[in-house]
């Protein structure tokens, strides 16, 4: 097992823990307490390393759409996620996406209005998930954008699209804000005391590469992004659940899931995912586990420090509190 490594990619765990609040999860707490913490800009760095791609050229939207559609699609793809922007004194703050609770019906209705408005511009908005929308555009906009998960609870000023072609992206976001302002969906949400869906956040664009330079030997994934990466690399991906407690890891494995694969039930996530992986590590069936829970930190653990029982394990919410700090500009 000298060269074996398992990368556990759970990009929404930090957010799920924040929603769940207090609660004790012994295995995850021991893992974080005994692991070495390494800073990363975001999750794209972790996946880019796995597939031999430059992190700065990581087209999230195109890769996700490849994973969803199963085939390459024409046009340029962007994520255009529904958000609520709140005016707070002299700044505009993005609310956490979990506070919106967008329904499939709301997503379809809002997308239909946006598509009708921009049909002549040959744009199309798809809503494969209520909270994750995809925008196809006829042109490529070369600009820097930010994952909204990194922007939530922060003033958006420093996170707006920037670069040579940022102006059309900013303009489109502003126009869609005006379109959504009086939309019947938002009128109904406001009457019900819910935050309105008053903007879309455009990010994650870029051309789909011809191929990935490398891939993990085994990929277990529920995330369209990782399924798309596997397809780009000519590799198969297995669905969850998978038996992670019965065999030794050979080479590099990638397990890429969402906390919501477990119904956002962290007790179930601990029991069905973390406990088998912890046993695999302690039994020496893997040399290292790298754990990305979201935010800007990766936790790396090998069998020897995993046995350092004297390292005090604090509550999970406390240990992850600093893992989602906004990245420095």
Q: Is the bond into 224 cis (omega within 30 degrees of 0)?
A: no
pLDDT mean over 204-216:
93
**159: pLDDT strictly greater than 70:** yes
**324: pLDDT strictly greater than 80:** no
Confidence band (pLDDT; 50, 70, 90) for 282? Answer: very high
φ, ψ at 182 (rounded to 5°): -110, 20
Assigned token pair, 317:
């919410």
The predicted structure's pLDDT at residue 329? 45
Assigned token pair, 167:
């102006």
The mean pLDDT of the chain is 92
Residues 253, 5 contacting (CB under 8 angstroms): yes
Confidence band (pLDDT; 50, 70, 90) for 56? Answer: confident
Percentage of the chain with pLDDT > 90? 76
pLDDT mean over 131-160:
92
φ, ψ at 110 (rounded to 5°): -65, -40
CB hemisphere CA count around 156 (13 angstroms): 25
pLDDT mean over 171-193:
96
Confidence band (pLDDT; 50, 70, 90) for 2? Answer: low
Spatial distance between the Cα atoms of 198 and 110, rounded to a whole number of angstroms: 10
Residues 96, 15 contacting (CB under 8 angstroms): yes
Confidence band (pLDDT; 50, 70, 90) for 121? Answer: very high
Question: DSSP letters of 285-323?
Answer: S-SEEEEE-STTEEEEE-HHHHT-TTS----HHHHTTTT
Percentage of the chain with pLDDT > 70? 97
The dihedral over CA atoms of 296, 302, 303, 304, expressed in degrees to the nearest 10, equals: -100
The predicted structure's pLDDT at residue 1? 57
- pTM for the full predicted model: 0.91
Residues 176, 200 contacting (CB under 8 angstroms): yes
**328: pLDDT strictly greater than 60:** no
Q: Percentages helix, strand, coil for the chain, rounded to the nearest 5?
A: 40, 20, 40
Spatial distance between the Cα atoms of 22 and 34, rounded to a whole number of angstroms: 21
**70: pLDDT strictly greater than 60:** yes
Task: Give the 3-state secondary structure of residue 76.
Answer: strand
Write out pLDDT tens, residues 222-254.
999 999 999 999 999 999 988 887 778 999 999
Residue 288, beta-bridge partner list? 5
Give alpha helix (H) positions in 242-301: 266-269, 275-282
**322: pLDDT strictly greater than 70:** no
> What are the residue ranges spanned by the domains of the chain?
5-54+210-319, 73-203
The predicted structure's pLDDT at residue 48? 95
């Amino acid at each position: 097992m000298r060269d074996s490594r398992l990368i556990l990619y759970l990009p929404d765990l930090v957010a799920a823990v924040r929603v769940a609040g207090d609660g004790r999860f012994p295995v995850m707490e021991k893992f974080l307490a005994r692991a070495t913490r390494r800073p990363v800009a975001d999750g794209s760095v972790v996946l880019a390393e796995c597939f031999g791609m430059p992190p700065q050229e990581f087209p999230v939207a195109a890769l996700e759409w490849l994973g969803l559609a199963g085939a390459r699609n024409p046009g340029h793809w962007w994520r255009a996620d529904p958000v609520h922007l709140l005016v707070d004194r002299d700044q505009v703050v993005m609310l956490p996406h979990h506070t919106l609770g967008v329904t499939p019906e709301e997503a379809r209705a809002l997308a239909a209005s946006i598509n009708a408005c921009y049909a002549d511009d040959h744009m199309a908005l798809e809503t494969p998930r209520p909270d994750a929308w995809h925008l196809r555009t006829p042109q490529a906009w070369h600009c820097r954008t930010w994952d909204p998960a990194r922007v939530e609870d922060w003033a958006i000023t420093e996170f707006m699209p920037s670069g040579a072609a940022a102006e059309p992206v900013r303009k489109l976001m502003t126009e869609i804000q005006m379109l959504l302002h009086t939309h019947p969906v938002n009128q109904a949400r406001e009457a019900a005391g819910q935050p309105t869906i008053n903007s879309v956040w455009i990010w994650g664009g870029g051309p789909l590469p011809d191929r990935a330079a490398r891939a993990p030997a085994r990929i277990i994934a529920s995330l369209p992004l990782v399924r798309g990466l596997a397809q780009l690399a000519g590799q198969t991906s297995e669905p969850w659940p998978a038996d992670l407690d019965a065999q030794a890891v050979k080479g590099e494995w990638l397990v890429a899931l969402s906390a919501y694969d477990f119904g956002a039930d962290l007790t179930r996530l601990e029991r069905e995912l973390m406990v088998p992986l912890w046993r695999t590590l302690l039994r020496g069936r893997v040399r290292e586990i790298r754990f990305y829970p979201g935010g800007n930190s990766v936790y790396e653990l090998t069998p020897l420090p995993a046995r350092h029982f004297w390292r005090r394990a604090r509550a999970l919410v406390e240990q992850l509190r600093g893992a989602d700090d906004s990245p420095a500009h």
